[in-house]
Structure 1
Amino acid sequence: MTPRTSVFKKRRLNLLVPSINSQHYFGGIHTAVQVFEAMATHFEASRIILTDSPPDDAALARFARYSPVASAQDSIADAQVVSFSDRYGKTLPVAPGDHWLATAWWTAYAAQRVAAWQESSYGAPGKLAYMIQDFEPGFYPWSSQSALALATYRPKQDLGIFNTSLLADYFASQGLDYVRRVVFEPTINDGLRSALTHARVSTSPRSRRIVVYGRPSTPRNAFSLICEALRIWGWNDPRSNQWEIVTPGELISDLDLGPVQLKALGKLDIDNYAELLRTSAIGLSLMVSPHPSYPPLEMAAFGMEVVTNSYANKDLSTFAPVIRSTFDMTPEAIAQALSAACDAWDERAMVPAWIMPENHAFLAEQAFGPLAAAAAHKLGVVSRGNV
């Protein structure tokens, strides 16, 4: 990302994010935008810079208050969205008052270099916050990509905004203890709250259904390990033919695993996903990373017996009594955990033993305002309300 000088005079927060299109606008990107918009209230102007995909019409409509601006323009609009995925031979206007909020590691790599350019061009380096939502070097084999991802972690220079204290603590254990950091904890999707209230008062038995969080395209979700564990469970547990196994999300066709079938539900809207959790008994969700991921937490909230994995300092069995978190990530150990979950339901005649209580931290309203204020303060930004 090549910068050029700009006449823009205001203090501006810039979000570098791969895409805001609907097929990408979930999970980490959605959370990053929420944090950005909360932080932007402490700035005079804001700009979204799209590094990987140009925005489609639906995305621009969703971000209607942001003016679409070409990188060739040095616009004075207070809220801008700039498509910079096709950047060969192009430059981006950067002013002395531009601050940066990076997301994926390659956006941090770009922002760090632009911040250094600000020092050589304007006499002071740009200030940078890094939204850290996983340990991204682990997304790759040892390689150029993993080395560059690791190099973007600068704990003595940048502000780290961590998605969960588990992840922040993992970074510290790896010698990446950020001098300036803020942390937020996961909370349940608001679209699940109504169904959870219903689940809390329901006395109906659950269906003999296992819900699998399957993402074949994402290695850290260990889909092949899940499939092998289901095969072993199917061969070894005589009750397996009594259970339905389903997976919402990526898988678009059913999968024959030998003794059991994995039924593909495709992508579900939030209401259908909530109903699936409310009526199902067991969840199987793996994440080979220090971040907990949201599916096992959502499953547990509804009282499902959840089989997941531990990793380094992550042990989700402390999060809820219905989570079985195995340190042994072999298909045999996961299959045994599934059988133990079946035993638990059989002993209770398919009635849940626990539904997440209303005062659980996961059910708190997610308010990024205090975190945004703390982040702005740590960047040395005086709130507009205090100017």
Structure 2
Amino acid sequence: MAFLRRAFAALPVQLQRPIVRVMKRRRQDTRLQSVATLTQQALGDLRPLRTIHDPALPPRIMLVIDSIVPEQLMGGAGTALLLAVALAQARDCGICIVTRQQRHDLPALHALLDLQGAAFGGPIEVRHFTGAAGDAPVPLGARDLVLTTSWWSTWAARHAVPLEQIVYLLQEDERMFYPGGDQQLLCAEVLDDTRLRYVVNTQLLLTHFCESATAGPTAHGIAFEPAFPASIYYPIAHGGRRNLFFYARPNHPRNLFLRGIATLERAFAEGLFPVEDWDVHFFGIDVPRIDIAGRPIQYHDTVPWADYAQLVRTADLGLSLMYTPHPSYPPLDLAASGAVVVTNRFGPKGRTNDYCDNILYAPLSIDGLLDALRAGVERVGDTETRRAAFDRAALGRDWATSFAPVVAALADVARPGASS
């Protein structure tokens, strides 16, 4: 051993360091670790909510959500806030928001509500609870309706909240977020919990859950259709050039970024969007600058709600892919603003066109998407047909109307003494 120590000491420092790292790792690997520790390391989001019962609390809507920051208020997070407001207004109560990951931005929250025509004058309390040992428990009353917004927030709430008080807002088949493994299994177990109530974003998604025999939403799911207020979503004139929008999210596999740019490369190569007539816009975070046949591309990274709406009003044709059963918001945003949009079929999505005839559903082959883009260009040029499809679109324009079935279905939740 003394010989080995001397030989090691004679080595250059740059050779000693990796050997030391390996030895330390081996020593660490021999330490016993608990199941809870290993689970926490692998599944950091799964920290149970801790509550403390407070019988003096008035009724509230408790919204359990990852964060309230401006860049995450578009789409699902914004919908969760709007549903919490609709439930609070119906019950004439306040709102308690529990953020689990990032902290909150209340001005951004109120700006969203004002923009969507859902201003809330009641009390809003915000607490931040990550599940760390030093976090204070969240006060919970018997008349609090606890609105969870993901399978992991639902999992956390089930450890600390009576099940009859939990309502799970389900806006995607969240099993599809993961490859086969522990996370997908845990998600599936939450979705199969028939003791919970489920509010499902769109009838399409609820149909998918029923067809896939997902026990929870099949037994206790109520669907709603999102709203697109006419004060936000409408077409505006924008000169002689046309605008092609691509929903580009390279870090979200479900949005099929590579299939989208491969399709656009073919489309540009065949002259489908002549550079003298069309401007190209990519919407999404962390989109690399791409050379697609030398075509100029305008990139829109993190865009505030009002700016996003202004841009969407100028769209003529959109390409927005989502490899899940939910229709996703961008195609509906575009159609509600007068654009034509190409998106993909998936399960019940695309079997019928229940929203707007300017939404063109296609198979996900490049040839199939190209055919749809060709049809889209033709529809853009047929202004009379395009306008008629926009005028008769079955897209809701008022959130109160959209949420009315949900509010009615949940009237007995977290109301002791009410019949179930």
The TM tier, using the shorter chain, reads: 0.7 to 0.9
Structure 1 residue aligned with 2:159: 113
Instruction: Measure, in 2, the Cα distance between the counterparts of 1:228 and 1:21.
Output: 33
Instruction: Measure, in 2, the Cα distance between the counterparts of 1:211 and 1:262.
Output: 10
**Structure of higher CA gyration radius:** 2
Specify every segment of 5 or more residues in structure 1 that has no aligned partner in the other structure, as ranges. Answer: 64-77, 119-124
- Structure 1 residue 220: deviation in Å? 1.0
Q: Does the CA-based 8 Å contact 1:162-1:182 persist in structure 2?
A: yes
Instruction: Measure, in 2, the Cα distance between the counterparts of 1:172 and 1:21.
Output: 33
- Structure 1 residue 288: deviation in Å? 0.9
Change (3 A) 1:244 1:13: closer
Structure 2 residue aligned with 1:49: 98
Instruction: Measure, in 1, the Cα distance between the counterparts of 2:417 and 2:329.
Output: 32
- Structure 1 residue 109: deviation in Å? 0.5
SS in 2 for 1:306: strand
Structure 2 residue aligned with 1:82: 127
Q: Which amino acid aligns with 1:8?
A: P
Change (3 A) 1:60 1:165: closer
Structure 1 residue aligned with 2:371: 336
Instruction: Measure, in 1, the Cα distance between the counterparts of 2:229 and 2:171.
Output: 17
Change (3 A) 1:339 1:209: same
- Structure 1 residue 107: deviation in Å? 0.3
Identity of paired residues, percent? 25
Match of 2:146 among 100, 120, 123: 100
Match of 2:263 among 222, 225, 229: 229
Structure 2 residue 54 is the aligned partner of structure 1 residue 7: yes
Change (3 A) 1:44 1:289: same
Q: Tell me the TM-score normalised to structure 2 length.
A: 0.73
Structure 2 residue aligned with 1:320: 356
Structure 2 residue 175 is the aligned partner of structure 1 residue 137: yes
Specify every segment of 5 or more residues in structure 2 that has no aligned partner in the other structure, as ranges. Answer: 1-47, 113-122
Structure 2 residue aligned with 1:73: none
Q: Does the CA-based 8 Å contact 1:284-1:308 persist in structure 2?
A: yes
Q: 1:231-250 to 2 correspondence within 5 Å?
A: 231-237=265-271, 240-242=274-276, 243-250=278-285
Structure 2 residue aligned with 1:220: 254
Q: 1:220-369 to 2 correspondence within 5 Å?
A: 220-237=254-271, 240-242=274-276, 243-250=278-285, 254-258=289-293, 260-270=295-305, 272-315=307-350, 317-326=353-362, 328-345=363-380, 348=382, 351=383, 353-355=385-387, 356-357=389-390, 360-367=393-400
Structure 2 residue aligned with 1:67: none
Change (3 A) 1:169 1:84: same
- Structure 1 residue 238: deviation in Å? 6.2
Q: Which amino acid aligns with 1:312?
A: G
